[in-house]
Amino acid sequence: MAPRKPRELKDHKVKLFRGRVTRASQDTASLAAAQRDFDILKPLSVIRAKNGERVPLVSVFQNYGTGHVCLLSFLTHFADLSSWEYAKKLKAILPQVEAAGVQVVVMGLGSRQNALLFSKLLDFPLRLIYADSEGVCYKALGFSRGFAPDAQVSAYLKLLPMLAGIGSPGTIQEVLRGYVGDRSSQPVWGGRQAFDILGTGYQRPFELATLRLNHMVNILPRWGALSPSNSALLTQQGGTLLFKDEETLFRQDDSGILRYTSLTDLTAAIAQARQSTIVIRSQV
């Protein structure tokens, strides 16, 4: 049977490899495509936030070679709104993902000290967090570097056009979605909320914008302690990969600011890999 091609979803860069690719049943080109990401990461090392040890990235994979499934989430830098939102969404589904037998590894741009504070402020499990201080893994995987990456100007100036959607497609729409609401998305918070006056079972107007404002209030006074010392990393985008041993089952690259991995797409890939449904009841 001929291999199915990766499926493009919406305006994220997505690759979803369906089924297990084997030498016996698939051609060499498809096998190479599914293993390329893992091969790229093999020589690279990262910092384990828990103890500051520098380790080969692929060495953190547990039970490797036994059909092991690993979710590798590349956040942006630790002071970025995208990282805070995505990490909170991951935290909300983490018990279900780990119960399904999926290992979770979370990478962020910056130092161990940045990662330690990030973990503390979000109450995110430190055991899962790793730091890439120079963005080596991100560059190797070809994640977007943002607007005018080679221009010799301040990264802070480059952020301005990105916030306007230049070099960051979808950002304006995502900002507006935080204010007008989204009936196709789950509520931001679970349980009874003041936003219930506007209805239940969907993302209400101003609900996501309120969450982002809360994040900004926490980030801005701690910007120096959370942001990377290498300011060039401020525009670097991330992405998410799901591996089964060395095979890439799923890949989704961030398209820009606030345009991180869709949990709907990610949980669908996990369900396919583990025959285990992940239920998303709220965003955080």
pLDDT score recorded for residue 256: 95
pLDDT digits 0-9 by tens, 160-193: 999 889 999 999 999 999 999 999 999 999 888 9
pLDDT digits 0-9 by tens, 103-151: 999 999 999 999 999 999 999 999 999 999 999 999 999 999 999 988 8
CA distances 85 to 7, 8, 89, 171, 259, Å, are 25, 23, 6, 14, 10
Confidence check: pLDDT of 14 > 60: no
Upper half-sphere CA count for residue 131 (Cβ side, 13 Å): 29
Instruction: Evaluate if pTM is beyond 0.85.
Output: yes
pLDDT digits 0-9 by tens, 70-115: 999 999 999 999 999 999 999 999 999 999 999 999 999 999 999 9
The percent of residues in the chain predicted with pLDDT above 90, rounded, is 77
pLDDT score recorded for residue 50: 96
Give the pair of three-digit tokens for residue 91. Answer: 């935290």
Taking residues 233-259, what's their average pLDDT? 95
Dump strand ranges (E) for the chain.
Answer: 13-16, 45-48, 54-56, 69-77, 102-109, 129-132, 239-244, 247-253
Taking residues 22-43, what's their average pLDDT? 66
